[in-house]
Structure 1
Amino acid sequence: ASDETSNLRLKSSSNFLAQFSDKSDLASSVTNSRMRLLIENFDSIMRFIGYKKVLNNQKVDLSSDRKSFGKNEKH
C-alpha cells in the first residue's frame, strides 16, 4: 500500500513539474528542475505555508495574498 502511495506521489509530482519545465530538461535532470521550481515559486510556496497555518487556526494575516495565490494556483 505504501508503495502505491509513493508511486502516486511520484507521478503527481512529475506531472506538476512537467507543467513548468520543458520535457527534455525534465528528462535530463529532474533534480535541477525541482530546485529551479522551488526557487521560482518560493513566494507562492511560502504563501501556501502561511495559508496552511490559517487552516490550522494559527494567526497569519493573508487577507491580501489569498486572492493572488488562487490565481497562481490555476495556471
Structure 2
Amino acid sequence: MYVKVSGYPTGDIGFVTDLLDLLQSAFPNDRLLYASNWPVIDMYADFDSHLSILLDRFAGNDDFFINNARSAYHIVERKKP
C-alpha cells in the first residue's frame, strides 16, 4: 500500500503540519509518494504553496519524490542511448 501525499488545503499551516506528521508516523518512508493533484488543487489551494511545503518537508528525499512512484507503478527507468 502506498499513500499519495496531495490535495490538502494550504491555508492552515498548522493543519498541514499535523497531517504530514501523522502520515510520517503512520507509514514508512518507502510508502509515501508525492502527487501534485494539479489542476484540481487550484480549486481549493495554491499549487506553489502546496509544492513549497512538501519541498521543505521532504528536501532531498528521492524516495518521496521519485523512487516510491517508480516502485508503486512498476516504472522501469529507460537506459540512455
Normalization by structure 1: what TM-score? 0.30
Which structure has the highest strand share of the two?
Answer: 2
Q: Higher Cα Rg: structure 1 or 2?
A: 1
Which structure has the highest helix share of the two?
Answer: 1
Normalization by structure 2: what TM-score? 0.28
